Structure 1
Amino acid sequence: MITALLLFWPALAALLVLLIKGQGAKKVAFVAALVEFALSLFALSAFDTQSGATQLALSLPWIESAGISFSIGMDGISLLMVLLTTFLVPLIILSSYKHAYKNPNAFYALILFMQTGLIGVFVAMDAFLFYFMWEVALIPIYFIAAVWGSANRIRVTIKFFVYTILGSLFMLAAFVYLYLQTPGTHSSDVNAFYQLSLSSESQSWIFWFLFVAFAIKMPVFPFHTWQPDTYTESPAQGTMLLSGIMLKMGIYGVLRWLLPVVPYGVSQWDEVVLVLAIIGIVYGSIIAIRQRDLKRLVAYSSIAHVGLIAAGIFTLNEQGLQGGVIQMLSHGVNVVGLFFIIDIIFSRTNTREITSLGGITQNAKLLSIFFMVLLLGAIGLPLTNGFVGEFLLLSGVFQYNAWFGGVAGLTIILAAVYMLRMFQGVMFGTKSELTASFTDLTLNEKAVLIPLVVMVFWIGLFPNTFLSISEPAVNNLLSIINR
């Protein structure tokens, strides 16, 4: 029951927000998001962290004659993604308080509708329910980017739409084929898919259909070209939703639907995927170094970080999988914090160009501290959240192939280069005309950044808090893959 409440509460709240005119909509949306976070904490309290099985499940007939059910539940991986979503959405809503968006009731309702889709993706235990929720999560962000984005928003949103609809069609085709291979009256339940005995040829092409769908969303090189433009042109809150949470849909899809369903297909193509992922690490990092727009720099850095997560996951060892799961949490926290700080800087200076900034730390010491903590977390400094995931991911890649591990390890050096250069150019040096009267953080901005910084240190200092939740589910996943 709690899983169903987690799923439907944001949608019900969104309908209420639609009825509220003016700026009161943001307050109702924020309270609704806090209630959702409280529900997720209740789910955590009711969850048996020693079990890798699906818990808090609910299954009801949906299209009974076709064997399609409304089947939801959570294992440790699902629960961590739900917690990440419910933790970040209130902060994303709170971060928008300094903006006066046109039609605020529609804007905040779309965020809550999107949260329903995101939660649905993470708790769906039926293939067609997963596909349905995947689309539910995508539709609101199209409108958020197209209506409230920057000058080039329409062109960029169309490109984003084409990429994602193509990926969705590949996924749907693979799911339909898998559904038709189930015995008897057919079933789209995830466990029915896990029990299929498919030929290596079938698994090979199904692998690519599913991988392309998930790789576009992550995104993995060379399926990434929609991402920098979409992140840059979307409003700040849209960018946070895309990078902090929606990106995780693709990684989660790999864990839930790709690796355990077509293990022979994975064994045929895992080396190719690792090569693509490692190319993405180096490519994204080098392009990030060359960027002068803050938003685009962090967007390309995200490609590099996701490349490492993908590489670790496809090693199919415990370190790589556990590293991928905890790095999803860490990346969500860090990237939302960085994009929010960029939004703060832009709101005060009306520019994101590094060369037009400088000297901010002289007037904004508290902002400088928060910025540096989140930046060091993104780099992977020991005792911060990024270190735990990167250490496990690189360990997994080294176990798979030492040469791959060596190249993937360049992310540590390259991330330090582009992140520290960005910080130096923006925060240090001589003040410019745009930064001369720069003011420090407001109470509202502190309220957003403090929880994020707390999570940077919590994950970094006490990673077992989270690793212990996902470990049984990861071991269960490995047993299915290696059966």
Structure 2
Amino acid sequence: MITLLLILIPLLLGSAFLLNSKQESSKIVNIGTGFTLLIAFVYIAGFIQYNAGQVANLDLKAAWLPSLNINFHIGWDGLGAVMMGLTATLVPIIMYSLKSFEYENKSKLIGLILLTQSALFGVFAAKDIFVFYFFFELALIPVYIIANFWGGKDASKVTFKMLVYTIFGSLLMLVAFIVLYMRGQSSDIESIKVTISLVPKVIQYFAFWAFLIAFMIKMPVFPLHTWQPDAYSKSPTPATMLLSGLLSKMGVFGLLRILVPFSPFALESYALMVSVLGIIGLIYGSIIAIQQDSMKRLIAYSSFAHMGIMAAAVMTASVEGIQGAIFQMVAHGFNVVGLFYIAKLIADRTGLRELSALGGLSQKAPKLAVMFMIILLGSVALPLTNGFIGEFLMLKSIFDFNNILGIVAGLSIILGAVYMLRFFQKTIFGDLNAKNEQIADLTSTEMWVLVPIAIVVLVTGLFPSLILEISEPFANALSNITK
């Protein structure tokens, strides 16, 4: 029942906010944040049961299309528990950040964020391929609306490109799902793991490529990334936070939940090629990020680079690679949300978005400088921060898989430090210009957004077992499938 509540509560509340026709209260964001905190407490109640081994209580299976043996089946495992936890904690932060921004129709915006949260819970809890597909598609719709109607110039063109890319990949995935369902007459994820071993190799290879393209677009991974930089830079900050912090993780989640367990044989043939594409994206994205003058585009290419190394790590199908990718999804989710929020604060205070026009902000905004530094250190994988654990595990798995790829992937440590420290130096240090002289430091509202992120950066870096112990059983089981 708790799993269903995680989907239904934000769905119903989001619908209520969308239908709200009354004049918006100045406290509308507080109300929305309060509801997301309530949802977080529901997740905690579910996690307590999961941690106590009462997994059956969190499993719900009801007839959806009984004549076709298709069920609405949701539940928890180690991977889902981590990703639902990320959703339950990040969405309140994103919601509360709306207090810092001036947007019209905030009630509608809050409603769309809640609908996105509902769909994300559905994706991460799905145990049926058609339930997974339904929520996978549903999650994009409210974010597309946010990006389109609250975005900047040319937002409609950019978001339409994002929509076309994603729909193309999703349709391929749907065709593969239908083929596998028809072969086994079951849409249950565990049943299809058996079905896939009995179908001809040509179907296995088709399913692998259909899933791979769908999830590579969603992450994105080179060369299916061209929609991402414009979408991230043109979208309003709430949409960018949702896209980079949570929706991109559906792609990595799909690799772990669907592609690897459904295609163990095809993985043997194509894992190296996909890993090479991931590392190309990692290096390419890092180099392009170094050259960016726009804050948002720099963070966008940084996010793209991180997705590349996650894809390569998953392709190794090792315990270290799987654990590293899961941990990095959480770390990157918090870090990138914090970075986009800081970029928005700087842009709003100065009216500038170009690094070349900024500088010296630490002289007037020391609290901003400190929060920025903590989140940045997590992004560059400094030891004892959240970024280090996932990056170390992923690099180890890639090196064990292929020494040359591992050495090349290791360049990400240097390149990441270059573009992130350049970002910090260009904004925080140097001389103040006329537009920066009157910049205000962080308000208490803004601190309430950034301090929790900074705490996560440090706490999960110091105590990685908080996440790794949850996902370890899943990582071990998935790695064994491919052996």
TM-score bucket of the superposed structures, by smaller chain: over 0.9
Tell me how far 1:409 sits from its aligned partner. 0.4
Match of 1:128 among 127, 130, 135: 130
Contact 1:292 1:354 survives alignment (8 Å) = yes
Q: Counterpart in 2 of 1:85? A: 87
Contact 1:217 1:249 survives alignment (8 Å) = yes
Q: Counterpart in 2 of 1:307? A: 308
**Structure-1 separation of matches of 2:299 and 2:57:** 36
Q: Counterpart in 1 of 2:187? A: 188
Match of 1:156 among 155, 158, 167: 158
How many residue pairs match? The answer is: 478
The one-letter code of the counterpart of 2:107 is: N
**Structure-1 separation of matches of 2:305 and 2:98:** 27
Contact 2:94 2:238 survives alignment (8 Å) = yes
Q: Counterpart in 1 of 2:213? A: 212
Q: Indicate the SS of the match to 2:433.
A: coil
Contact 2:80 2:124 survives alignment (8 Å) = yes
The one-letter code of the counterpart of 2:274 is: V
Tell me how far 1:55 sits from its aligned partner. 6.7
Instruction: Flag the 1:50–1:411 CA change in 2: closer, same or farther, 3 A.
Output: farther
Contact 1:380 1:387 survives alignment (8 Å) = yes
Tell me how far 1:144 sits from its aligned partner. 0.3
Contact 2:74 2:128 survives alignment (8 Å) = yes
Q: Indicate the SS of the match to 1:474.
A: helix
Q: Counterpart in 2 of 1:40? A: 43
The one-letter code of the counterpart of 1:114 is: T
Tell me how far 1:54 sits from its aligned partner. 7.5
Contact 1:14 1:29 survives alignment (8 Å) = no
Contact 1:216 1:223 survives alignment (8 Å) = yes
Q: Indicate the SS of the match to 2:342.
A: helix
Q: Where do residues 228-377 of structure 1 align in structure 2 (5 Å cutoff)?
A: 228-377=229-378
**Bigger CA drift: 33-42 or 99-108?**
99-108
Q: Counterpart in 2 of 1:12? A: 12
**Structure-2 separation of matches of 1:468 and 1:359:** 42
**Structure-2 separation of matches of 1:313 and 1:434:** 46
Contact 1:284 1:304 survives alignment (8 Å) = yes
Q: Indicate the SS of the match to 2:102.
A: coil
Instruction: Flag the 1:127–1:160 CA change in 2: closer, same or farther, 3 A.
Output: same
Contact 1:231 1:239 survives alignment (8 Å) = yes
Q: Counterpart in 2 of 1:427? A: 428
**Structure-2 separation of matches of 1:50 and 1:458:** 25
Instruction: Flag the 1:300–1:44 CA change in 2: closer, same or farther, 3 A.
Output: same
**Structure-2 separation of matches of 1:224 and 1:124:** 26
Q: Indicate the SS of the match to 1:195.
A: helix
Contact 1:49 1:468 survives alignment (8 Å) = no
Contact 2:317 2:478 survives alignment (8 Å) = no
The one-letter code of the counterpart of 1:159 is: K
Name structure 2 gaps, 5 residues minimum.
none
Tell me how far 1:48 sits from its aligned partner. 3.1
Q: Counterpart in 2 of 1:167? A: 169
**Structure-2 separation of matches of 1:428 and 1:132:** 47
Q: Indicate the SS of the match to 1:430.
A: coil
Contact 1:325 1:470 survives alignment (8 Å) = yes
Contact 1:204 1:268 survives alignment (8 Å) = no
**Structure-2 separation of matches of 1:55 and 1:213:** 32
The one-letter code of the counterpart of 2:428 is: M
Tell me how far 1:50 sits from its aligned partner. 7.1
Match of 1:63 among 65, 89, 106: 65
Does 2:434 correspond to 1:444? no
Contact 1:334 1:377 survives alignment (8 Å) = yes
**Structure-1 separation of matches of 2:407 and 2:70:** 46
**Structure-2 separation of matches of 1:387 and 1:421:** 19
Contact 1:312 1:321 survives alignment (8 Å) = yes
Contact 1:358 1:428 survives alignment (8 Å) = yes
Name structure 1 gaps, 5 residues minimum.
none
**Structure-2 separation of matches of 1:142 and 1:201:** 35
Q: Counterpart in 1 of 2:114? A: 112
Tell me how far 1:100 sits from its aligned partner. 2.7
Q: Counterpart in 1 of 2:32? A: 29
Instruction: Flag the 1:379–1:311 CA change in 2: closer, same or farther, 3 A.
Output: same
TM-score (norm 1): 0.97
Tell me how far 1:267 sits from its aligned partner. 1.1
The one-letter code of the counterpart of 1:45 is: I
**Structure-2 separation of matches of 1:206 and 1:16:** 39
Q: Counterpart in 2 of 1:392? A: 393
**Structure-2 separation of matches of 1:91 and 1:333:** 9
**Structure-1 separation of matches of 2:39 and 2:477:** 28
**Structure-2 separation of matches of 1:381 and 1:252:** 25
Q: Indicate the SS of the match to 2:431.
A: coil
**Structure-2 separation of matches of 1:49 and 1:152:** 50
Contact 1:381 1:387 survives alignment (8 Å) = yes
Q: Indicate the SS of the match to 1:118.
A: helix
Contact 1:50 1:472 survives alignment (8 Å) = no
Aligned alpha-carbon RMSD (Å): 1.3
**Structure-1 separation of matches of 2:206 and 2:52:** 36
Tell me how far 1:86 sits from its aligned partner. 0.9
TM-score (norm 2): 0.97
Q: Indicate the SS of the match to 2:307.
A: helix
Deviations 1:323-350 (A, max 9, x none): 0000000000100000010011011012
Contact 2:320 2:394 survives alignment (8 Å) = yes
**Structure-2 separation of matches of 1:347 and 1:82:** 32
Q: Indicate the SS of the match to 1:377.
A: helix
Tell me how far 1:225 sits from its aligned partner. 0.6
